[in-house]
Amino acid sequence: MRQRATVLAFFMLVTIGAASQYARAANLRVNCDKHESLRKALRLLANLNPQGPNTITVSGNCKANFVIQSMDRLTLITKTAASITDHSNGSSAVVDIEDSHSVTVQGFTIHGVVQCGTASVCYLTGNTIQGGGVAVGGGSRTFLESNEMQDGSGATVNDGSQMFSNNDVFESNAGPGITLGSGVYFEASNSSFLNNGVGVLAAASNLLLHGETVSGNTGNGMTLLAGSTVVFRDAATITGNGGIGVHLEDASFAGFQSAAVTGNLSGLDVDCAPQFTITHFVERTGGVTNCVESTGLAQPANVK
C-alpha cells in the first residue's frame, strides 16, 4: 500500500507539473474495488493543487466518508455507476463539502448524506441518493440536476442557503421531501415530490416553483409556516396528497399564477389557517378552499 501511495503521489507531481501552464489541471482514476483509495486521491489534490481544476473518475464500490475542504473546481464523476457508501453508521456525512467552490458530484449511487456547507458552491447531477439525503447550510448554494433522493431524509436547506432544483425527484422519504428553514431561497423547475411524509415543509423561506408535481404524500402536499412565500408558475400540480394540498399559516403568502391544486384527500386543497395568511388568485387552482380575498385582489387589475 505504501508503494502504491508513493507511485500515485509521484504521478500527481508529474501530472500537475506538466499541466501548470494549462491551469494546473489534474485527472485521476480510482477503482475502489481494487482497493485504490478515493480518500488518498482527495488528500493529494488538496495538498498539491487545491484550486483545481481537478477531476477524479471513480469506479467500483467505495465505502468510507469523504471530506472535501477548501478545494475549488473539483469534479467527482463515474461513468460506471460507482457507489459511495457511508461507513460511519449515520454519524457523519458520506460526502462533506466545506469552504469549497464549484465542486461537482455526478452519476453516483450514494448511500448516506451529501453535505454542502460553509459557503460552498456544490453541483449534484444525475445521482441516486438513498437512505440519507442532501443537507445544505452555512450560506451555501447547491444546484441539483436530475437526481433522485429516496428512502431517507430528503433535502434540508438552512441558514440563509440557496438550492436550485431541475428535474429532480424527492421520493418515499419518511419526513418531508424537502425542509426549508430560515432565510432560505428555493427555486425548482419540473421537479417532483412524491410519496413522502410531507411534500414540502417551509418556515420563513422564499420559494419559486415552475411546473412542480406534488402528489401521493401521506400528509400535506405543502406546509408553509412563519411568513414563508411561494409563487407557482408554469402549471404546477398538487394533487392526491393525504392531507391538504397547500396549507398556510403565520403570515405566509401563496401566489397561484399557474397551478392546479385539486383532489387532495382531506377535502380541502388550499387551507388558510386563521393566523394572518394571504393568497392571491386562489380561484385559479380550481380546488376547494376556505381562503378569502377581496374582489379587487382576486382578479388582475387593468392598468391604463
Task: Tell me the domain boundaries of the chain.
Answer: 52-291
Segment 217-229 shows an average pLDDT of 97
Whether 128 shows a pLDDT value over 60: the answer reads yes
Identify whether the C-beta of residue 223 lies closer than 8 Å to the C-beta of residue 200. Answer: yes
74 grid coordinates: 473539483
pLDDT in tens, 76-91: 999 999 999 999 999 9
Identify whether the C-beta of residue 217 lies closer than 8 Å to the C-beta of residue 197. Answer: yes
pLDDT score recorded for residue 278: 77
**Mean of pLDDT over the chain:** 90
Identify whether the C-beta of residue 250 lies closer than 8 Å to the C-beta of residue 267. Answer: no
The fold of the 52-291 domain, in CATH, is Pectate Lyase C-like (2.160.20)
Exposure of 302 by Cβ count < 10 A (0-12 exposed, 13-18 middle, 19+ buried)? exposed
Segment 280-295 shows an average pLDDT of 84
pLDDT in tens, 6-57: 334 434 444 444 444 344 689 999 999 999 999 999 999 999 999 999 999 9
Q: Name the phi and psi angles at 156, rounded to 5.
A: -130, 130
Cis preceding linkage at 176, omega within 30: no
pLDDT score recorded for residue 283: 86
Identify whether the C-beta of residue 235 lies closer than 8 Å to the C-beta of residue 262. Answer: no
Angle, helices 2-18 vs 38-48, to 10°: value is 40
Cα 233 to the center of its chain, rounded Å: 20
Strands 121-125 and 141-145: parallel
User: Distance between CA atoms of 225 and 140, rounded to whole angstroms?
Assistant: 22
**H/E segment holding residue 16:** helix 2-18
Segment 202-221 shows an average pLDDT of 97
Confidence bin at 292 (pLDDT 50/70/90): confident
User: Distance between CA atoms of 149 and 171, rounded to whole angstroms?
Assistant: 6
One-letter amino acid for residue 253 of the chain: F
pLDDT score recorded for residue 18: 42
118 grid coordinates: 460553509
In the block, cell 467500483 appears at 60
pLDDT score recorded for residue 296: 53
Nearest C-alpha neighbor of 159 from the set 187, 180, 186, 189: 180
Name the residue with higher pLDDT: 204 or 300.
204
User: Distance between CA atoms of 57 and 106, rounded to whole angstroms?
Assistant: 10
pLDDT in tens, 186-198: 999 999 999 999 9
pLDDT score recorded for residue 14: 40
Q: What is the pTM of this model?
A: 0.86
Whether 105 shows a pLDDT value over 80: the answer reads yes
**First vs last Cα of the chain: how many Å apart?**
78
Segment 290-304 shows an average pLDDT of 57
pLDDT score recorded for residue 295: 59
User: Distance between CA atoms of 244 and 222, rounded to whole angstroms?
Assistant: 8
Whether 279 shows a pLDDT value over 90: the answer reads no
User: Distance between CA atoms of 275 and 197, rounded to whole angstroms?
Assistant: 24
pLDDT score recorded for residue 96: 98
